[in-house]
Structure 1
Amino acid sequence: MTQKIISVLKLMILVALNVLMIGLVTYANTTPLANVDVLSRLGSRGSEVKQIQTKLKQWGYMTGAVDGIYGAETEKGVRYFQKKNGLQVDGIAGPQTLRAMGISSTSSGSSGSSSGSSSGGGVGGYSDSDYRLLARVISAESRGELYEGQVAVGAVIINRVKHTSFPNTLSGVIYQPGAFTAITDGQIHEAVSDSAYRAAKDAMNGWDASGGAIYYYNPDKTSNKWMRTRPVIKRIGKHVFCK
């Protein structure tokens, strides 16, 4: 009798364990994980994917259709963009890649310093992501320069957006191949200074400290002979601003 009771108990325990395992698997497959970032990757669809594809096509990293479907062509373009911009090459449009593209995302987190990383909305008609991207470039390109010089660097980028010879978006100007050293050497991914946020805001609000320039360079570092032929407007700190 005792042996029969033990056998029944073992069977009941086995059944209970099976029910528990089935329940855990079902819960895992149907319950959203609130703390997991939703990243655009192979197989993803939606408006964020369209933004990514639009940027990649504009900058020459992708030739496929802008259809909102994250296929093999989009993944290839993302990998190419990541490689060229010193990012982790995984083909996934994660927070750092989206920030580098100037795309806002709920999964992209915050960027910048504690005192100036958010503009509280668009500045001068530009989006908040444009504002943060401009500040990042200003910080990387003119770190240690006079404040006026930092604003002037931002103004050059704004001037290019308005000029017919350059892309008509801020991110397009910044990521135009070979346009800025900070993109090619990876300095754009370094911490952003508070002054760069202020300079970005001033440039976007209309302060053209460059005097209408669309180029600038450091004469002590550049070996570009063509750049040295451009008509000089002014010099601020180590940078020469020209037409």
Structure 2
Amino acid sequence: MRRGRRFIGAITGCLAALVVTFAAGPPPVNAFTMETLTVGSRGYNVDELQARLGFLGYYHGKIDGDFGWDTYWAVRDFQYNFMGRATGIVDLKTRQKLVAATKGWHYRPAGASGSSSSSANQSASSGGSSAAGSAAAADALPSTAGGLSQSDLSLMAHVVYAEARGEPFEGQVAVAAVILNRLKDPSKFPHTVAGIIYQPLAFTSVQDGQINLTPNAQAKEAVMDAVEGWDPSHGATYYFDPATATSPWIWSKPEIVTIGHHIFCSS
């Protein structure tokens, strides 16, 4: 009889624990569904769309869940840079490409503390950092500089740290300068910092995930020096490490200068 009472007590305890768990609410999940989004669409799907586009630097408006013309043009810019086509309509392929490009972003419900801007919707990943906009990367970076947003500067710092940590400081500045040089040539490269960095196969650190490492103060300083006009690469738009480069294509580029382990090249 005592065993029966103990068994019933254990079952009762488990049920109580389940009740407490469900009362606390389910864990947050992404709001992106399979719904096709276009001008006039509204709701959490659009809220997430705007936040993800803002995470990449394409959308700068208010995250309000209303698919207006600002959202439309941001979608077109993203599609053009990542997919080679621009419709302004968020279909399944666009959604998949956007999710793949914003792995460091996490959904926060509309109205949550700090969710009124794209930077607030950026959440830590890979041990407390994200590819664009982690709080640590934003520290000591101005809100704007050289026409770039703090999110742009932070994303550049992630790349500099991931691609050139351990290199001479001059080489770190040169990596940042390459991004800026590409930005000056929209006929050959995407016309936003995020578009340049997340362009397929553009940077090794994006492919292997090292872009998610938290940049240090030196990487941020290198970015700011490049933004302020220092270009040790002398106008380069490419660079590579000859010890690890496997593509014959990169060796065909005219070499400009070697700094540390990197050779900097022109188009």
TM-score range, shorter chain: 0.5 to 0.7
- Using the alignment, how far apart are the partners of 1:214 and 1:228 within structure 2? 14
- In the TM superposition, what are the counterparts of 1:1-243 in structure 2 within 5 Å? 41-42=32-33, 43-44=43-44, 45=46, 47=61, 48=63, 50=71, 53-54=75-76, 56-61=78-83, 65-66=87-88, 73=91, 76-83=93-100, 85=101, 87=103, 94=107, 104-108=118-122, 111-113=134-136, 117-163=139-185, 164-243=187-266
**Structure 1 stretches lacking a partner, 5+ long:** 1-35, 96-102
Normalized against structure 1, the TM-score is what? Answer: 0.67
**Structure 2 stretches lacking a partner, 5+ long:** 1-26, 34-42, 48-60, 109-116, 124-132
Question: The residue matched to 2:120 in structure 1 has which SS?
Answer: coil
Q: Which amino acid aligns with 1:94?
A: Y
Report how far residue 174 of structure 1 moved.
Answer: 1.0
- 1:43-79 superposed Cα distances (whole Å, 9 cap, x missing partner): 4336447276345313335967437xxx6x2x65343
Distance 1:189-1:154 versus aligned 2 partners, 3 A rule: same
Report how far residue 242 of structure 1 moved.
Answer: 1.1
Distance 1:64-1:40 versus aligned 2 partners, 3 A rule: farther
| CA-based RMSD | 3.2
Corresponding residue number in structure 1 for 2:20? none
Q: Name the count of aligned residue pairs.
A: 191
Distance 1:223-1:38 versus aligned 2 partners, 3 A rule: closer
- Using the alignment, how far apart are the partners of 2:178 and 2:248 within structure 1? 20
- Using the alignment, how far apart are the partners of 2:94 and 2:106 within structure 1? 10
Structure 1 contact 155–203 (Cα < 8 Å) conserved: yes
Normalized against structure 2, the TM-score is what? Answer: 0.61
